[in-house]
């Protein structure tokens, strides 16, 4: 059956949610109740009922499947899964909990095994939807767990759904008739570096072209989580340099103006790599008002998070998967992801939209509107620093172009 997205006029968007998923995800210790808040606001605003000009529904709501052992084993180790997925595991055994990272910021929690299966399953449900061309855009706000490692939990993340998504899309057949293998671009907009995802695909020794390109825009400073040599601005002269594993670190106070300035770099990388599939990790901990208080990014206006996502949705060819991520001001996370959901359908809600009366309404004080405006933090990303970033990326683009055209290193 033909669906209207094949006309190219309107994107048909898949939105993954179920009550079971929202409840399981709301038990995540770092983001208690956030998932319920997000899905309730999306629903209260009526976003999922938006229709196109010819009265077609913009959204298809998909209930997540549960990830199977086989799904999870495509990246995670068997022993981590056996320990984390077994409700009768001994979480009092210090050696074991340290080995699997289930301590400090990743404590074992009630419903953890359900959470892991449902969140991975939710992202894979979204992946299946774009893989099978059921839609142009798929959304899974409960996914985007970019710190979870192969064999242990890390940084509030227990399951590596981003890596699982990339692995599944890398095996997919691209939409075009060309015989080339599919290319997957992973763009991470979270405040924190996508360490686990970048490491998983980092291959400094190869001179071949890669099917996967990761680009993380994040805050990096000495001691700032996660500590990784890959989080720095890449040095093309370094032995560990891989033009398919890219980082763009920003300093404190990063504002929409800074993002507007660096965005052509992101577009340039995309134009060279020409991905068939684009995964955007839309962590919202860089927005003003987040308790991490590091960046000063806003939701609307030129260079904002909404503006960047609109560029990807409207201007980039290839099918897109939008994932969640960090964001510790839960009402602002709900505002942001509800707004991005409307952008995915090509029908952005006005930022001055009033929060509708629903159970969580009082949490949206004092503004009671959708907007997440910038604060008054000082911008530390100087013109000189951004110029340096642009110069480095000019070299990176040349190298990337050479690698994709099979020329190899000069
Ligand atoms: Zn984060």
Ranges of residues in the chain whose predicted pLDDT is under 70:
1-11, 175-178, 407-410
4 occurs within a structural domain: no
6 occurs within a structural domain: no
Q: Is the dihedral of CA 216, 292, 344, 127 positive or negative?
A: positive
Domain count, the chain: 1
128 occurs within a structural domain: yes
Distance, CA of 130 to CA of 145 (rounded, Å): 19
Distance, CA of 155 to CA of 221 (rounded, Å): 17
CB 219 within 8 A of CB 254: yes
- Residue 388 known to be catalytic: no
Cα 285 to ligand 1 centre (Å): 6
Cα 88 to ligand 1 centre (Å): 30
Nearest to 184 by CA among 196, 205, 201: 201
Cα 106 to ligand 1 centre (Å): 14
Instruction: Given the residues 39, 76, 146, 147, select the one marked as catalytic.
Output: 147
Cα 190 to ligand 1 centre (Å): 5
pLDDT of residue 2: 36
Q: What is the pLDDT of residues 284-320, one digit of tens each?
A: 999 999 999 999 999 999 999 999 999 999 999 999 9
Query: N- to C-terminal Cα distance for the chain?
Result: 49
312 occurs within a structural domain: yes
55 occurs within a structural domain: yes
Cα 145 to ligand 1 centre (Å): 9
Structural domain for 131, as ranges: 13-405
pLDDT of residue 408: 55
CATH code where residue 98 lies: 3.40.800.20
Torsion of CA 247, 251, 257, 263, to 10 degrees: 0
pTM, 2 dp: 0.96
Cα 187 to ligand 1 centre (Å): 14
Structure tokens at 339: 């707004």
Cα 50 to ligand 1 centre (Å): 30
pLDDT of residue 177: 66
3 occurs within a structural domain: no
69 occurs within a structural domain: yes
Cα 87 to ligand 1 centre (Å): 28
7 occurs within a structural domain: no
Q: Is the dihedral of CA 77, 79, 80, 84 positive or negative?
A: positive
Q: Is the dihedral of CA 194, 200, 203, 204 positive or negative?
A: positive
Cα 203 to ligand 1 centre (Å): 24
Nearest to 288 by CA among 259, 249, 311, 312: 259
Distance, CA of 387 to CA of 401 (rounded, Å): 21
Cα 319 to ligand 1 centre (Å): 24
pLDDT of residue 7: 44
């Amino acid at each position: 059956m033909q669906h209207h997205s094949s006309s190219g006029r309107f994107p048909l968007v898949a939105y993954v949610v179920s009550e079971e998923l929202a409840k399981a995800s709301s038990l995540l210790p770092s983001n208690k109740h956030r998932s319920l808040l997000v899905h309730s606001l999306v629903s209260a605003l009526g976003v999922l009922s938006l229709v196109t000009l010819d009265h077609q529904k913009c959204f298809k709501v998909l209930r997540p499947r549960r990830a199977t052992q086989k799904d999870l084993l495509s990246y995670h180790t068997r022993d981590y899964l056996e320990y984390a997925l077994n409700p009768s595991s001994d979480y009092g055994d210090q050696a074991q909990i340290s080995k699997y990272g289930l301590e400090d910021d990743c404590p074992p929690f009630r419903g953890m095994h359900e959470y892991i299966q449902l969140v991975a399953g939710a992202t894979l449900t979204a992946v299946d939807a774009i893989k099978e061309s059921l839609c142009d855009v798929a959304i899974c706000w409960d996914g985007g767990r970019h710190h979870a490692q192969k064999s242990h939990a890390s940084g509030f993340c227990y399951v590596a759904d981003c890596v699982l998504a990339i692995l599944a899309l890398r095996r997919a057949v691209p939409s075009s008739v060309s015989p080339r293998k599919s290319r997957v671009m992973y763009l991470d907009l979270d405040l924190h570096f996508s360490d686990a995802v970048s490491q998983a695909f980092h291959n400094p020794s190869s001179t071949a072209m890669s099917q996967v390109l990761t680009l993380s825009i994040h805050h990096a400073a000495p001691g700032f989580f996660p500590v990784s040599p890959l989080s720095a601005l890449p040095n093309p002269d370094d032995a560990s340099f891989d033009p398919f594993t890219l980082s763009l670190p920003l300093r404190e106070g990063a504002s929409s103006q800074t993002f507007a300035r660096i965005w052509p770099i992101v577009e340039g990388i995309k134009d060279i790599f020409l991905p068939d599939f684009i995964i955007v990790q839309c962590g919202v901990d860089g927005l003003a008002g987040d308790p991490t208080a590091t960046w000063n990014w806003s939701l609307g206006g030129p260079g904002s998070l909404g503006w960047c996502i609109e560029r990807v949705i409207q201007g980039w060819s290839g099918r897109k998967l939008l994932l969640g991520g960090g964001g510790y001001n839960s009402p602002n996370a709900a505002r942001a992801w509800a707004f991005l959901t409307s952008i995915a359908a090509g029908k952005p809600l006005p930022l001055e939209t009033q929060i509708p009366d629903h159970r969580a309404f009082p949490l949206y004080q004092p503004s009671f509107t959708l907007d997440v405006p910038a604060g008054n933090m000082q911008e530390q990303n100087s013109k000189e620093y951004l110029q340096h970033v642009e110069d480095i990326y000019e070299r990176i683009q040349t190298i990337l172009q050479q690698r994709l055209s099979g020329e190899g290193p000069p």
